[in-house]
Amino acid sequence: MTMMRIDIVSAVPDLLESPLNTSIVKRAQTKGKVEIYVHNLRDYAYDKHRQIDDKPFGGGPGMLLKPEPFFHVIEKLQSEREYDHVIFMTPRGKILNQAECNRFSLAKNILILAGHYKGIDERVIEKFVTDEVSIGNYVLSGGELPALVLVDAIVRLIPGVLNDSESALQDSFMDGEKIEAPYYTRPAEYRGMKAPEVLLSGHDKKIREWKEQQSEILTKKWKKINRLE
Ligand code: ADE
């Protein structure tokens, strides 16, 4: 298996530092399962003042990220390798779900663009972007946190990243849109609250049935609160 490569372009690369170098995403890199590179947009602004933003034509509030630095960095990266996906994080994109994460996790090279301020010049999207991805119907200050969400969701699916006990196959949503049964650990009773008897029984079949039934209850509840039926 060749290693996956993820490149992220950002005007605020500091925002990405700690999450990419902590926990499972860090371990995936240490294990050689993925290489992640962060590119500072400002390094690709070649004018005297290294300007990356400007006022939108036609007026309106806020600043836009200028096209040139994006063109420079994307063209450089694309001259070095082919990208399966050039993803722009935006609230107008397709809302991320597990099926999309599974699809992205099969890629060899992924390039993620994070906007900031009001957005980016539309010509960057028109020229390079293959997938516009949203992480939900709400607006964040930039695409950095969404990019981190996407990277985490992808990286944990790469074979060999999680160990057996962490296995992604067990997760809620991996088996269609199903929510997992609740979990309990020691102590069996805490502040008068008891872990379900059946989980302590050692009776495998009963435990399986209980988990199945709890999963159904939580899935129904989840569909209702999310207005999916
Ligand atoms: N940028 C700002 N808000 C966003 C969202 N909800 N999803 C993806 N990118 C974004």
DSSP string, 120-143: E-HHHHHHH-SEEEESSSS--SBS
Which atom number of ligand 1 is nearest to the Cα of residue 141?
2
The partner residues of 111 in beta bridges, in order of sequence, read 7, 86
Q: How far is it, in rounded angstroms, from Cα 142 to Cα 134?
A: 11
- 30 and 124 in a single domain? The answer is yes
Same domain, 132 and 70: yes
168 in ligand 1 pocket by Cβ < 6 Å?
no
The structural domain count of the chain equals 2
What's the pLDDT score for residue 222? 96
Pairing of strands 119-120, 109-114: unpaired
Q: What angle do CA 143, 148, 149 make, to 5 degrees?
A: 95
CA 22 to ligand 1 center in whole angstroms: 23
pLDDT score recorded for residue 164: 78
Q: What is the CATH number of the domain that holds 181?
A: 1.10.1270.20
Q: Do residues 149 and 194 share a domain?
A: no
- Whether residue 163 contacts residue 148, with contact meaning beta carbons closer than 8 Å, is answered with no
pLDDT score recorded for residue 89: 98
Q: Is the CB of 95 under 6 A from ligand 1?
A: no
Q: Model pTM? A: 0.95
Question: What radius of gyration do the chain's Cα atoms show?
Answer: 22
| Residue 8 structural domain | 4-155
Q: Looking at the structure, do residues 122 and 38 belong to the same domain, yes or no?
A: yes
Last residue of a domain, one of 155, 185, 200: 155
Cβ–ligand 1 distance for 91 under 6 Å, the answer yes
Distances (CA, A) of 1 to 4, 156, 216: 9, 16, 37
Helix (H) or strand (E) holding 200: helix 197-200
Nearest CA to ligand 1 atom 6: 91
| Whether 181 and 151 share a structural domain | no
Tell me, yes or no, whether 19 lies in a domain. yes
Q: Which residue has the tokens 């296995």?
A: 167
Index of the ligand 1 atom closest to the CA of residue 136: 6
pLDDT of 1 = 64
In a domain, 14, yes or no: yes
CA 137 / ligand 1 centre spacing (Å): 8
From the CA of 90, give the closest atom in ligand 1.
9
Residues 94 and 124 in one domain: yes
Residues in CB range of 189: below 8 A, 6 or more apart: 195
Tokens 């709890």: give the residue: 214
Same domain, 185 and 143: no
Buried b (16+ CB within 10 A) or exposed e, 50-84: eebbeeeeeeeeeebbbbbbbbebbeebeeeeebb
Per-residue pLDDT of the chain (229 residues; tens, 9 = 90+): 689 999 999 999 999 999 999 999 999 999 999 999 999 999 999 999 999 999 999 999 999 999 999 999 999 999 999 999 999 999 999 999 999 999 999 999 999 999 987 799 999 999 999 999 999 999 999 999 999 999 999 999 999 999 877 777 778 787 788 999 999 999 999 999 999 999 999 999 999 999 999 999 999 999 999 988 7
Give the CATH number of the domain where residue 126 resides: 3.40.1280.10
166 inside domain: no
